[in-house]
Amino acid sequence: MALKGIKPEMKEKRLKLFLYGPAGVGKTTAALQFPKSYVIDMEKGTDYYSESMSRSGSAVFQTISGDDIKAEIKALLTEKHDYRTLIIDPITQLYNALQEKWTRIFEKHSKGDAAEIQDFGMRFWGRVKSEYKSIQRMLLSLDMNVIITSHQKDVYGAGMQKIGVGPDSMKGDQYVFDLVFRLDNINGKRVAFTEKERSEIGKNKFPDSFEWSYDNFTKFYGKDVIERAAAPVVMATPEQVKEVERLLEIIKIDDEKISDWFTKADVETWDEMKFDTIQKCIDFLNKKISPMEAK
């Protein structure tokens, strides 16, 4: 079998940033410094910044619904708009909202008395994490800067001894993003501590810590990249989804093959695929069916 590896090429990636810190440190204020932002506000933290947001060409959508957030992200992903940065403030509440949604669903369909969350077991958490990861995949696919804020929590080790602090969100959240900063207030200044930066060895853009400001940030990351216009992504159409499902009823394809398609596309459902990707699957299936029709 021929190897499928290709020579790696440098790609200009949009900013994907995870920002956390203690209450009152100014995570919302820090994120809102980015112009032309679309802010999904889950704690009404933008209520006091209407004037500055208007001046920077930003907009806000306040909600506590995971379904609403998913719909807004999909619209930003697929429709033409003038926003450069998506801010979700804070992601902590999104994860809580998904738990509440699936709790209601499980309670509705459970037999007997309503159970506590932990009694729903692995199937419950599987649903929560699956939907959460679906949202994460859309965030990473967005041709926009993405800034996620999170509450901070204490981290404990053996014997319940505090060993540090971390983000109060789904376990492993920070591994998804290219940049992770912890904000703190040092001598009256908002300081970002670099906890993670994906880069070639010795080619980090950010120092270990720096005073947070938009000008400082763009000095390290590059203003042209941050302020570049977003391009919409063409996703699978309902017609394509119906067609691929129709073809799969006619042609026997190994589950392993379909799983491989999903893995390569980094999706869990057909409708999460991009237009070109699902069309390749349809073309492959049509080629398979042609010899059958000829017999």
Residue tagged 């991009």 (tokens): 274
pTM for this entry: 0.84
Q: Any idea what the Cα angle at residue 229 is, between residues 227 and 234, rounded to 5°?
A: 145
pLDDT at site 294:
45
Cα radius of gyration (the chain): 22
For residue 290, the model assigns a pLDDT of 64
pLDDT the model gives residue 2 = 67
Query: DSSP letters along 12-54, please?
Result: -PPPEEEEE--TTS-HHHHHTTSSSEEEEESS-TTTT-HHHHH
Sheet holding 16-20, edge to edge: 59-62, 37-41, 85-89, 145-150, 16-20, 179-186, 189-197, 209-211
pLDDT given for residue 216 in this prediction:
93
DSSP 271: G
Q: Hey, what domains does the chain have and what are their CATH numbers?
A: 16-226 (3.40.50), 238-294 (no CATH)
Burial class (CB in 10 A: 0-12, 13-18, 19+), 31: buried
Q: What is the mean pLDDT of each run of 10 residues along the chain (295 residues)?
A: 66 86 91 95 90 92 92 93 94 87 80 53 81 88 93 83 83 86 93 91 90 93 91 92 92 87 88 92 86 52
Please tell me the predicted confidence (pLDDT) of residue 133.
87
